[in-house]
Structure 1
Amino acid sequence: MNYGEMVKELNELLGLKGSPVAVKLVENADEIPDGYKKMDEKKRHCEFVQDARLKGNKGYATSEEHLCKGGAGVMGIETLPESVATGSMYYKLGNFETAEGALETVNAIPKARKNNYASIYAPLESAEFDPDVVVLILTPKQALKVSQSLLRKKGGRISSDYSGIQSLCADAVAAVKERGIPNMTLGCNGSRKFAQIADEEVIIGLPPENLEDIVEALKVFKEKWG
C-alpha cells in the first residue's frame, strides 16, 4: 500500500492537522524495523501518538518508556496495575459512584489478547512497517466524512465504543487491532491533559486496509457534493 500517496490525498480531501499515525504492537524485539530506536524519553502512549502526528517522530516504546502503565497494560506491553485492573484508581478519582461500577467498566475495556514487547509509532506517510492500526485525530466534521466514507461501499453502522477512560490506547488501538473494525472515541482526561488532544478533536482508529476505500469515497463525495 502506498501510504505516502494516500496521506497526500487524505490531506487534500480532509485538510488534516498533522499526519495520520501508524501504530504497531510487536511481540518480540526482532520485529522492530531497522532504523527505529527506543523513544528517548518516557511518555504516555497518547503523547507518542501526538508526537508522531504533529512532530513527525518515529520510534518504539517498551514498558520502560511507557509512563502510563494503564495504557501499556491494555496494549499487552505489561501487566495492568492492580489499581487499574480492579477499577479502584478510577473509583478514587471520582469517575464512578461505586467501586462495582468502576470494576464493570474496566472489565469491559478492550485489551490486547497477547503479550507484547513494544509499541511502534510513525507518521503514516513515512512508516517503514505495516501498521496494525492507523490513528486519526479529527474535527467532528472530518470524522463525519470519514464515517460516511467507511459506509459508502457496504453500508452499516460505525462503532463508537468508549467509556471516557483509556481512550487512545484501549479504544483507538487495542479495540481496533483485536476486532478488525474501526472505532471512534472521544479522548479521556489523560489524553486531553498530557497529549493535549484539543477540545474540538475526536479520535478514530482504523484498520489500514480501510484507507483505500476511504480515499475513494472522499473523492466521490467531493465530486458530488463539492
Structure 2
Amino acid sequence: MATTAVAVKRPVHPDRIFFPMLCGLMLLLVWLGFSKTYYAAGMVHAKLPSPTIHVHAIAATLWLITLIVQIGLVSARKVKLHMTVGLWGFSLAAAWVVIAMAAALDALRRNFSPPGSGLDPLTFFIVPVTGAGLFACFAGWSYLARRTPQAHKRLIMIATIAILDAAVGRFPYTVWPSLTGLKQSLVLFVLLAAIMVYDLITLKRIHRATWIPALALIVVHLTRIPFGQTHLWMRFAAMCQG
C-alpha cells in the first residue's frame, strides 16, 4: 500500500519575529532622528559640518543595512551566508569605532554641544566617546560569542542600541521637543527592557548576554555626564581638543 508523505510545517521560532521587529523599531528611531538633517536631505548632499561627519554617517548607515541583511539571512535560514557576511559586518564595526572617535574629536574641535543641552563641549565629548566604547565592547563580545546564537544576537542588538542615542538626541528638534536630558536615555532603556521581558517569556530567565551589557549601558548613561563635568575629564578632553 502506497504511503503519502505529508509535509509538516515547522512552527516559527519567536526569535524570527521579535528580533526583526526590534530591528525595525531601531530603524524607525534612526529615521525620526536623522530624516530631516541627513536622509531626506540627500545623504551625501546633506549640509553636514565636516567631511568626517559625512563618513561617520555613511558608516553608521552601512552598519544598519548590514544588520537588516543579517537578520534577513537568519530568518531565511541562510546560516552559512550569514556567517560570511558577518566577517564583513565585524570589519565594518571595527572601522565604525575608529570613525566614530574621529567624528567625536571633530565635534570637540568645533566646540559642539547640542543646542539647549547646557553642556560644555568638553563635557559633551564623553557622550560619543562612551557610546563608541560601549558599541566596541558589545560588538567585540558578540564576535567572541558568534558560535552561540542566543548570546550573539542579543549582543549585536544591544551594541546597536548603544549608538542610538545620537538619533534619539535629535528628537527635541524633530519629533519630541520635551525629550531632553536623561529622558532620552529612557528610550534606550525601554528597548533594553523589551529584550529582558522577551527573555523572561521565552527563556524563563534573563540571558547573561542581555543583563550584563544592559546593566553596563544603564550605569554608563546615568554616570557619564556627572563624570564628564569633573576636573579630570575636562583636562583630558581639553588635551584631546588640542
TM exceeding 0.5: no
The one of the two structures with greater contact order (alpha-carbon pairs below 8 A, sep at least 6) is 1
Which TM bucket (shorter chain)?
Answer: 0.3 to 0.5
Report the TM-score, using the length of structure 1 for normalisation: 0.33
Higher strand share: 1
Structure number having the greater helix percentage: 2
